[in-house]
Chains A and B, each alone.
Chain A
Amino acid sequence: MTTQPTAVQHAVETVESHLHPVASYDLADHALPTGREEVWRFTPLKRLRGLLDGEPSEAHLKVELEGPASVRVRELSTDDAVSLGGTAPADLPAALAVARSGGALLLDVPAEAELDQPIVLRLTGTSIDETVWGHVVVRVGAHAKATVVIEHTGSARYAASVQVIVGDNAQLDFASLQLWDDDAVHLGHVGIQVGRDAQVRSFQASLGGDLVRLVESAEYTGPGGEIVMYGVYFVDAGQHIEHRLLVDHNAPHTRSNVDYRGALQGDGAHSVWVGNVLIRKVAEGIETYESNRNLVLTDGARADSVPNLEIETGEIKGAGHASTTGRFDDEQLFYLCSRGVPPELAKRLVVHGFFADIVRRLGVPEVEQRLMAALEAELAENVGLPPAGVA
């Protein structure tokens, strides 16, 4: 790794930030991007396939639900969905998604329900020629405990607003898997509200698609809440994967921990990670740490990684961040090879480990296995590494 973790004082500290525009349902509040804006400067707008034009579309992703019988998906009118009070869209694609979707899907976990099985919402696109607007609301009632997985496969030009509303003292493990076909485009916003003393773990995995650009935000509706945001991405030749995070510490004694890891291989593979943490004046006694690590496997790939901390109060427990981008660690490879493991296999073990370290924390074995298999396949396909004897 070439970059060392930087101390908090090296972070960009500005009070008025242009990095996270005000969230709004009103389309007029979201100007059409030109590519010069700070938040759009990394994104190749041409490859959005006209999604930002906002043309109306009746098309939907195919919806399948798996999980405990007690939980259903309901369709709601847009007005009813908005009145649930989730985080408003952070950017134009998400605002368009709410405005054009013609209604929302609501996954409702009642207060005090303890689900012993994950809820898996499978969303499948049929063709890149279809524009699809999506609006999904996940609501977890107070004191409830649930695991929710949203899985995206197939192909589409998809923009979505996903609102996750977590009640007081609830526990949610939430995962969003982007396992699209090669040509898919996926934009949008996942906005998470963390209730008082609630614990939320969010997990984003972006492997497929031609272009994926997701904004993930978290804010607190009371003190004492905790959000953990994990993410993994694997970027191949020509692929653009962009994750923009915002943790808004708007309540005291809240905690956040961000850990995103990516691997890149092939010509024109491009990842963008922007991690914004805002610590407001009221947010005394909070604790935050964010980290992004990128493993560049071949020449011609590029990883942009930008952590930002904005601190309006000094009365905090701790704040820090780290960002590293680099090649394989020579010492690790030497150690493995010195035991007889061929270098290509050693590299594979290291990449596998790099991801497994985080995927294992998901705690949903089926999804963990699927993800690790998908990551393995990425490695085999492009670097041409032989199959690992990995468990």
Chain B
Amino acid sequence: MATLDIRDLHVSVDTDDGAKEILRGVDLTVRSGETHAIMGPNGSGKSTLAYSIAGHPRYQVTTGTVTLDGVDVLDMSVDARARAGLFLAMQYPVEVPGVSVSNFLRTAKTALDGEAPKLRTWVKEMGAALDALGMDREFAQRNVNEGFSGGEKKRNEIAQLELLNPRFAILDETDSGLDIDALKVVSEGVNRFSAQGDRGVLLITHYTRILRYIRPDFVHVFVAGRVAEQGGAELAERLEAEGYDRYTKAASTS
């Protein structure tokens, strides 16, 4: 069993007026086999948390730790974190002109496994991953995310999740911008991933809609750069009914 452990994480970004603190002491533990949902208002720092775990250079960790089975993650380069088993499905997946999905994924797979996948099985696997997300196989030949619709980009992220099969997946608003069919397809992908039993999921979302398809074991309310409350799946229902008002008020008076 593996554990992703976030302790007292403080993160700043550089702005024209100097460093601005966005995460203010995040504590969160995700064990393999668990699905955690993070919900919180716009600007509360959810993507910052996701990017910081993945190692985006824009975010500076000022204090705190992130460990994977006790091993310091913050010390690792971005690619080393991926090889250690972390995966981030991005809120806004990046376009990479001139690099085909197929080439990109094969290069990633080779880097993760330390050897190139066998060509014939790989083509099949990639085709199957696209099929499973309801994507035409011609996407393999297209440039990464270039000209993809919002929904296609999100499907592509989950196709990658299934193909690369990390130990922990952080999904940043993978459900935004999806129509109801796409939401189902994407959720099924995440559920297949979780069903392996020893994978952890950190699901960032604004909507309980996706939580009807992906049942979280834990729900965290994220406000003003930290976890303001946690509970079970029922917490999501309450947030849907009541909104974040009482947390944001509490945060602004504290």
Binding site for B on A (CB under 8 A): 330-332, 334-343, 345-346, 349-350, 352-357, 388-391
Q: Considering the chains assembled together, what is the distance between the CA atoms of A330 and B95 in angstroms?
A: 12
**In the complex, are the beta carbons of B107 and A337 less than 8 A apart?**
no
**In the complex, are the beta carbons of A356 and B98 less than 8 A apart?**
yes
15 A-B pairs within 8 Å (CB atoms) are namely: A330-B57, A330-B58, A332-B96, A334-B54, A334-B78, A334-B94, A338-B79, A338-B88, A338-B90, A340-B79, A342-B79, A345-B111, A349-B99, A357-B143, A389-B106
Considering the complex, give the chain A residue whose CB is closest to the CB of B93: A335
Query: Chain B contacts of A341 at CB under 8 A?
Result: 79, 107-108, 111
With A349-B103, A350-B96: A335-B90 Cβ-Cβ less than 8 Å = yes
Query: Chain A contacts of B105 at CB under 8 A?
Result: 339
| B180 CB–A CB distance under 8 Å | no
A-facing residues in B64-109 (Cβ within 8 Å):
77-79, 81-83, 87-88, 90, 93-100, 102-108
**In the complex, are the beta carbons of B99 and A342 less than 8 A apart?**
no
| B7 CB–A CB distance under 8 Å | no
Q: Indicate which residue in B90, B102, B143 contacts A391 across the interface (CB closer than 8 Å).
A: B102
B254 → A minimal CB distance (Å)? 33
Query: Chain B contacts of A353 at CB under 8 A?
Result: 96-99, 143
Query: Chain A contacts of B144 at CB under 8 A?
Result: 335
With A335-B90, A353-B97: A389-B116 Cβ-Cβ less than 8 Å = yes
Interface size class of B (residues with CB under 8 A): 35 or more
A-facing residues in B34-66 (Cβ within 8 Å):
54-58
A295 → B minimal CB distance (Å)? 11
**In the complex, are the beta carbons of B103 and A335 less than 8 A apart?**
no
Query: Chain B contacts of A343 at CB under 8 A?
Result: 77-79
| B178 CB–A CB distance under 8 Å | no
Q: Considering the chains assembled together, what is the distance between the CA atoms of A147 and B90 in angstroms?
A: 43
Binding site for A on B (CB under 8 A): 54-58, 77-79, 81-83, 87-88, 90, 93-100, 102-108, 110-112, 116, 143-144, 160, 164
Query: Chain A contacts of B77 at CB under 8 A?
Result: 337, 343
- Other than A334-B94, A353-B98, give 11 A-B pairs with Cβ distance below 8 A: A330-B57, A330-B58, A334-B56, A338-B82, A339-B111, A341-B108, A355-B98, A356-B99, A357-B98, A389-B110, A389-B116
Query: Chain B contacts of A357 at CB under 8 A?
Result: 97-98, 143
Q: Considering the chains assembled together, what is the distance between the CA atoms of A173 and B97 in angstroms?
A: 23
With A336-B104, A391-B103: A354-B82 Cβ-Cβ less than 8 Å = no
Query: Chain A contacts of B116 at CB under 8 A?
Result: 389
Identify the interface centre among A330, A334, A356: most chain B CB within 10 Å of its CB.
A334
A329 → B minimal CB distance (Å)? 8
Considering the complex, give the chain B residue whose CB is closest to the CB of A391: B103
Q: Which 6 A-B pairs have the closest CB atoms?
A: A353-B98, A357-B98, A340-B82, A339-B108, A353-B99, A335-B94
Identify the interface centre among B87, B94, B160: most chain A CB within 10 Å of its CB.
B94
Query: Chain A contacts of B108 at CB under 8 A?
Result: 336, 339-341
B204 → A minimal CB distance (Å)? 15
B13 → A minimal CB distance (Å)? 14
**In the complex, are the beta carbons of B98 and A390 less than 8 A apart?**
no
Considering the complex, give the chain A residue whose CB is closest to the CB of B85: A340
B51 → A minimal CB distance (Å)? 9
A10 → B minimal CB distance (Å)? 24
**In the complex, are the beta carbons of A349 and B96 less than 8 A apart?**
yes
Considering the complex, give the chain A residue whose CB is closest to the CB of B81: A338
Q: Indicate which residue in A332, A349, A388 contacts B94 across the interface (CB closer than 8 Å).
A: A332
Identify the interface centre among A350, A354, A389: most chain B CB within 10 Å of its CB.
A389
Identify the interface centre among B90, B98, B104, B160: most chain A CB within 10 Å of its CB.
B98
Query: Chain B contacts of A339 at CB under 8 A?
Result: 82, 87, 104-105, 108, 111-112, 160, 164
B6 → A minimal CB distance (Å)? 18
Query: Chain B contacts of A332 at CB under 8 A?
Result: 94-96
Q: Considering the chains assembled together, what is the distance between the CA atoms of A350 and B103 in angstroms?
A: 12
Query: Chain B contacts of A354 at CB under 8 A?
Result: 97-98
**In the complex, are the beta carbons of A335 and B96 less than 8 A apart?**
yes
Q: Considering the chains assembled together, what is the distance between the CA atoms of A352 and B81 in angstroms?
A: 25
Considering the complex, give the chain B residue whose CB is closest to the CB of A355: B98
Considering the complex, give the chain B residue whose CB is closest to the CB of A351: B98
**In the complex, are the beta carbons of A349 and B104 less than 8 A apart?**
yes
Considering the complex, give the chain B residue whose CB is closest to the CB of A359: B98
Q: Considering the chains assembled together, what is the distance between the CA atoms of A341 and B99 in angstroms?
A: 13
